[in-house]
Amino acid sequence: MTASRRAPLLSVLSVITIAFSLFAFGLFGLAAINIRSALEQVEERVEVRGFISHATDIESVAAAMKDIGEFPEVARVDYVSEERALERARKEMGEFADVFESGVLPASVEVHLRSGQRSPDNVRSVADRMRTYPFIDDVRYGEEWVEKLHRLRNIATVAGIALGLAFAAVAVIIIGATIRMAVLARAEEISIMRLVGATDMFIRLPFLLDGLVKGAIGGILAVLFTWVAHRTVNEYFLRTVFFDRELIFLGIIGGATIGVMGSLVSVGRHLRRI
Amino acid sequence: MALSRVTFQVKKGEFVFLTGPSGSGKSTILRFLYMADKPTSGKVWVNGVSSDTARGREISKLRRRIGIVFQDFRLLEDRTAEANVRFALEVTGAPKASIGAKVSRVLGQVGLASKATSFPRELSGGEQQRVAIARALINDPFVLIADEPTGNLDERATRGVFQLLRDVNAAGTAVVMATHDLDLVRASAYRTIELNHGHLVFDSADTSKPGTLGTGREPGEGLEAESDGSGKA
């Protein structure tokens, strides 16, 4: 850790930038995985509802339900009679119970999609196919919020990656500067190493290790920061999930990679000048 | 400093002076010999390694068999004499167990056994140069390359260091020594190559023993330089 001894401030700075870089990844990643898990729960309830014209005979409906049930995306098809629709409406909106009368609400088929088949595109395509039945008057699904949630998740992912990459670039530059100072401070030692026949790899190795260790420490800090953020949100706002062990490990590896990259670029450039 | 049409060969175990005024190309030739620079045209062979094909690792390996000393000693100030010598073994991956014995043997050889724990600033110039020579000898080199090794020393230290180099040579190691101390050159009967403005203007082996002037192309045991190019001195 000679580099750290020679330039303590820069070393701390490089560890912190790596930590922030991964923290940015971490926060948005956390948002992404939480939106995703929320989406999964919401998608459980995603259903496409086709309203059936009054006085359609039950055989046609049954045949249509069988057809729809065979769509590859579809998990289950339920029939909701006019009576059941009324019953539900009364239960959900108790204070208006007496407003609803028999025959006001149409019967419908409720289509539940398989998990993994609930993307907005799939939902829309199922709805479109249902519309082709003449006795289905109207098809409704939660198109707007399904799409919104998906968009939100994509934004979180993209923002996380963009911000994280920007921080990573800064981290590589700062690590590079640290290594540069260390290389120049040891110029004499390095030139003697060369003269007596030390290999390039031998000369580089300590600098690469330096970057590796700083990067890994940055990664651990980032996991810590992210965890604190996660706990805070849990405490005061809403329940969220945290990364699993593999992702935490990946974060630390990511830090180490940034560190090694910064060292590699810098040490190659500056050793040539000695 | 540009060198032009310099051709010579150093045989195994030979002692050669390289003389000439400052800027005549002495250091450039020495840098060619340990392959810190390469000629833009022409070739340098050292112990079978050719300058036009040698790569990083091969050059590193070659330097382990070459001892190099400079006018300014190039010792690490924050290490003792012993640690400076030891350094050359440590950074080339020598087995740890063998290092201690080798270091004390070579410090004894240069007459500094009692100064092993001294730091460079506690040593005289002559002693510092002996430490540098000990470091150069630690890997049993086949040649010792010395760039003005006595340039910073008083007369007494100069004689001592020169005698040490003669002893090293007598033990079988070739020595190529750049110097402009003509007293040293005259006081010994070693081969002398004189450079001026990048040209070889005199080679004592050329007149007294014509056979040693190498123009051969086959890589040999010794050193051979043929250059028509330029290098940075």
Hey, is the C-beta of B135 within 8 angstroms of any chain A C-beta?
yes
Domain locations in chain A as residue ranges: 2-40+148-271, 47-141
pLDDT at B213 over 70: no
CATH fourth-level superfamily of B1-65+141-233: P-loop containing nucleotide triphosphate hydrolases (3.40.50.300)
Residues B150 and B185: their CA atoms lie apart, in Å, by 12
Hey, is the C-beta of A273 within 8 angstroms of any chain B C-beta?
no
* Averaged pLDDT for residues A36-45: 70
Confidence of residue A7 (pLDDT cuts 50, 70, 90): low
pLDDT at A60 over 80: yes
**Pairwise pLDDT comparison (A102 vs A23), residue with the higher score:** A23
- Cβ within 8 Å, pair B76-A195: no
Confidence of residue B222 (pLDDT cuts 50, 70, 90): low
Hey, is the C-beta of B101 within 8 angstroms of any chain A C-beta?
no
The minimal CB distance from A195 to the residues B57, B65, B68 is found for B68
* Average pLDDT value for chain A: 81
* Average pLDDT value for chain B: 86
Chains A & B: contacts with CB separation below 8 Å:
49
**Pairwise pLDDT comparison (B168 vs B187), residue with the higher score:** B168
Which tokens belong to B145?
């390359």
- Cβ within 8 Å, pair B92-A189: no
- The predicted pLDDT at position A62 comes to 84
The minimal CB distance from B76 to the residues A192, A199, A200 is found for A192
Residue A45: helix, strand or coil by DSSP?
coil
Task: Give the ipTM.
Answer: 0.83
- The predicted pLDDT at position A4 comes to 57
- Cβ within 8 Å, pair A192-B68: no
Contact residues for B167 (Cβ-Cβ < 8 A; gap 6+): none
Residues B156 and B126: their CA atoms lie apart, in Å, by 9
- The predicted pLDDT at position B106 comes to 95
**Got the DSSP string for B22-87?**
TTSSHHHHHHHHTTSS--SSEEEEETTEETTT--HHHHHHHHTTEEEEETT----TTS-HHHHHHH
pLDDT at A22 over 70: yes
pLDDT at B18 over 90: yes
Confidence of residue A45 (pLDDT cuts 50, 70, 90): low
Domain locations in chain B as residue ranges: 1-65+141-233, 74-140
- The predicted pLDDT at position B218 comes to 39
* Averaged pLDDT for residues B201-217: 54
pLDDT at B225 over 70: no
**Pairwise pLDDT comparison (B82 vs A53), residue with the higher score:** B82
Shortest CA gap A174–chain B (Å): 28
Sort out which chain B residues have CB atoms less than 8 A from A206's CB and list them.
none
pLDDT at A5 over 70: no
pLDDT at A143 over 80: no
> What residue ranges in chain A does DSSP mark as E strands?
47-52, 74-80, 108-113, 136-140
pTM above 0.90, yes or no: no
Hey, is the C-beta of B191 within 8 angstroms of any chain A C-beta?
no
- Cβ within 8 Å, pair A196-B61: no
The minimal CB distance from B92 to the residues A191, A198, A200 is found for A198
Half-sphere exposure of B212 (CA within 13 A, CB side): 20
pLDDT at A212 over 70: yes
Sort out which chain A residues have CB atoms less than 8 A from B34's CB and list them.
195
* Whether the Cβ atoms of residue B44 and residue B33 lie closer than 8 Å to each other: yes
Chain A residue closest in CA terms to B78: A189
Confidence of residue A169 (pLDDT cuts 50, 70, 90): confident
- The predicted pLDDT at position B33 comes to 93
- The predicted pLDDT at position B208 comes to 42
Hey, is the C-beta of A194 within 8 angstroms of any chain B C-beta?
yes
Shortest CA gap B45–chain A (Å): 17
Helix A200-236 vs helix A187-195: crossing angle, to nearest 10: 140
- The predicted pLDDT at position B228 comes to 53
- The predicted pLDDT at position B167 comes to 95
A20: buried, middle or exposed (CB in 10 Å: 19+, 13-18, 0-12)? Answer: buried
pLDDT at B216 over 60: no
Domain boundaries A47-141, corresponding CATH code: 3.30.70.3040
- Cβ within 8 Å, pair B60-A198: yes
pLDDT digits (tens, 9 = 90+) for B33-50: 999 988 888 889 999 899
- Cβ within 8 Å, pair B92-A196: yes
pLDDT digits (tens, 9 = 90+) for A80-122: 888 888 887 777 766 666 666 656 678 888 888 887 777 778 8
* Averaged pLDDT for residues B128-151: 95
Q: What percentage of chain A has pLDDT greater than the value 90?
A: 8
Shortest CA gap B89–chain A (Å): 8
Contact residues for A160 (Cβ-Cβ < 8 A; gap 6+): A24, A25, A27, A28, A29, A31, A32
